[in-house]
């Protein structure tokens, strides 16, 4: 698969077809997407650095986010999506890690962009309406082992790390994801539901699988997801055939009794990834949506969204607990290793190791971290230490939690040491420990326990040795970090 060629083909054959829809009004057609991204790519080729360093694209679910993504890769540089839900301090750390002189922004950027020039909606509008696109050719595009996108995830040192995904990784991933639930031909022109922000790699599953099959991406904005009535209306208006979300989001929807086949009569398949899909959630979905398939997939950002899949039948959902996360896609090998790096036989638990054609080339600008987690096997295949615990049974992978302090909160990946290290940077804090609160087998909250730093103002009255911040202050500080 060559994703850019696929989009180009659709733009030529069906220029009016809607590629992206957000609510009822904000849409962009394949023809517009192709033409606008060519124009912006032409501008970038002329004005941005010749080294083709990656560009940050800041915003939410605006149709021009896609224009910016494609313009970057058509001008031979990777893009790095940053959603509005990312706290400013995190945005600043991400921008600081990227040497490019521009930031493309479809929403107002409040974080400090340092020396970078922010191209907001007005600047983008001028470029998109004025620039001639004929300077962009296929040779300029990102190809093969060049980085196509970079997604930053939580890092245990308190600084986010950017996972580099190459054009080949994305294309190999799409060869497989376009066949999940139905054939690529059957998917042609279908509506894909987008829940995850573009800075979360789950969004690659809906965004690019949709673009690869000439589909329409229907985005649910953050404000819609936070308002039940709007959410149900949005879901009904989507007329989605392919659902992509975390299981947590499906649980939120399931808590409304109106969430069922009548609301989404055309829905054919639920694609889940990112966290445990419980038997209970799968069974409820099967009851409410008798006409839809439920598919569980597993994988980290470091191996391009997902590498295993399993169709969760009613039989599987009732007889096998916990559910398997599936068998590896073509081009991927899963091994289970013990602490010394020896492969374990079927049934034994150990670290899940992913080898194959969608494994990232490493963390952007972080050779040290790359060497810790990535390797090249004897046959030249790239491999990744997931830090996940699991075992294989009858060709299926089973997930059993983590071997470190990484957790998932509402589908988002967080290293507890990341939160601790950032809380510890606060002037009032000497030391912090973050503990996850569990509900129904999932992390539902984080609590930070802190040792207050003794200052001169505390003076003689308080030794500070065991004092803690007030609960309110702790909660406030933690919020600004997570």
Strands (E), 374-440: 374-376, 382-393, 396-402, 406-409, 412-415, 429-439
Specify the residue for token string 């517009």: 32
CB of 281 to ligand AMP, least distance (A): 12
CB of 54 to ligand AMP, least distance (A): 19
Residue 204 to residues 63, 146, 214, 244, 295: CA-CA distances in angstroms?
15, 17, 15, 10, 16
3-state secondary structure of 197: coil
* 325: contact with ligand AMP by CB under 6 A: yes
What x/- string results for residues 415 through 454 when contact with ligand AMP is judged by CB under 6 A? ----------------------------------------
* HSE toward the beta carbon, residue 149, CA cutoff 13 A: 28
Contacts (CB under 6 A) with ligand AMP, residues 45-64 = none
CB of 247 to ligand AMP, least distance (A): 8
Give residue 464's region: left, alpha or beta (phi > 0; psi -120 to 50). Answer: left
* 296: contact with ligand AMP by CB under 6 A: yes
- Cis amide prior to 364 (ω within 30 degrees): no
CB of 292 to ligand AMP, least distance (A): 18
If binding means CB under 6 A, how many residues of this protein chain bind ligand AMP? 19
- Cβ neighbour number for residue 286 with a 10 Å cutoff: 18
Contacts (CB under 6 A) with ligand AMP, residues 385-404 = 386, 388, 399, 402
Question: Quick one: which segment of 128-136, 234-242, 273-281, 437-445 binds ligand AMP (CB under 6 A)?
Answer: 273-281
Q: Which of 149, 173, 243, 298 binds ligand AMP (CB under 6 A)?
A: 298
CB of 325 to ligand AMP, least distance (A): 4
CB of 411 to ligand AMP, least distance (A): 8
Task: Give the span between the Cα atoms of 240 and 227, in whole angstroms.
Answer: 19
Contacts (CB under 6 A) with ligand AMP, residues 94-153 = 153
Output phi, psi for 269, to 5 deg. -150, 140
Specify which residues 280 forms β-bridges with.
none
CB of 74 to ligand AMP, least distance (A): 26
* 301: contact with ligand AMP by CB under 6 A: yes
Helix boundaries (H) for 142-266: 167-177, 184-187, 202-212, 222-225, 228-238, 247-254
Interface residues with ligand AMP (CB under 6 A)? 153, 201, 273-277, 296, 298-301, 325, 386, 388, 399, 402, 408, 413
């Amino acid at each position: 698969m060559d994703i850019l060629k696929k989009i180009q083909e659709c733009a030529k054959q069906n220029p009016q077809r809607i590629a992206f829809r957000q609510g009822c009004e904000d849409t962009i057609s394949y023809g517009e997407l192709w033409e606008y991204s060519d124009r912006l790519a032409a501008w970038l080729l002329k004005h941005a650095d010749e080294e083709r360093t990656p560009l940050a694209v800041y915003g939410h679910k605006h149709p021009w986010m896609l224009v910016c993504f494609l313009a970057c890769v058509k001008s031979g540089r990777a893009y790095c999506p940053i959603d509005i839900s990312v706290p400013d301090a995190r945005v600043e750390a991400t921008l600081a890690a990227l040497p490019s002189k521009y930031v493309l922004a479809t929403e107002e950027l409040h974080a400090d962009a340092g020396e970078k020039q922010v191209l907001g909606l007005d600047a983008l509008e001028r470029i998109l309406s004025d620039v001639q696109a004929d300077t962009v050719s296929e040779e300029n595009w990102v190809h093969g082992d060049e980085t196509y996108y970079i997604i930053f995830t939580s890092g245990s040192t308190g600084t986010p790390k950017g996972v580099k995904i190459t054009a080949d990784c994305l294309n190999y991933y799409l060869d497989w994801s376009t066949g999940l639930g139905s054939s690529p031909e059957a998917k042609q022109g279908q509506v894909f539901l987008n829940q995850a922000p573009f800075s979360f790699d789950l969004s690659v599953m809906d965004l690019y699988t949709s673009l690869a099959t000439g589909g329409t991406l229907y985005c649910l904005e953050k404000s819609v997801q936070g308002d039940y009535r709007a959410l149900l209306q949005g879901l009904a208006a989507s007329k989605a055939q392919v659902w992509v979300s975390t299981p947590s989001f499906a649980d939120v929807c399931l808590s409304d009794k109106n969430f069922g086949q009548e609301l989404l009569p055309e829905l054919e398949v639920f694609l889940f990834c990112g966290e445990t899909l419980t038997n209970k959630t799968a069974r409820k979905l099967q009851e409410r949506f008798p006409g839809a398939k439920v598919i569980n997939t597993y994988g980290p950002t470091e191996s391009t969204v997902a590498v295993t899949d399993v169709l969760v039948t009613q039989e599987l959902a009732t007889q096998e607990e916990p559910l398997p996360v599936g068998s590896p896609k073509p081009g991927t090998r899963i091994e289970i290793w013990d602490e010394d790096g020896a492969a374990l036989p079927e049934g034994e638990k150990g670290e899940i190791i992913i080898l194959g054609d969608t494994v990232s080339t490493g963390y952007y600008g972080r050779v040290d971290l790359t060497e810790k987690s990535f390797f090249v096997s004897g046959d030249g295949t790239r491999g990744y230490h997931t830090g996940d615990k699991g075992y294989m049974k009858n060709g299926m992978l089973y997930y059993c939690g983590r071997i470190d302090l990484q957790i998932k909160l509402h589908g988002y990946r967080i290293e507890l040491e990341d939160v601790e290290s950032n809380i510890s940077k606060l002037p009032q804090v000497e030391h912090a420990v973050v503990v996850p609160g569990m509900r129904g087998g999932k992390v539902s909250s984080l609590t930070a326990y802190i040792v207050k730093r003794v200052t001169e103002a505390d003076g003689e009255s308080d030794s500070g040795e065991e004092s803690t911040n007030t609960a309110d202050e702790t909660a406030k500080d933690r919020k600004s970090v997570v």
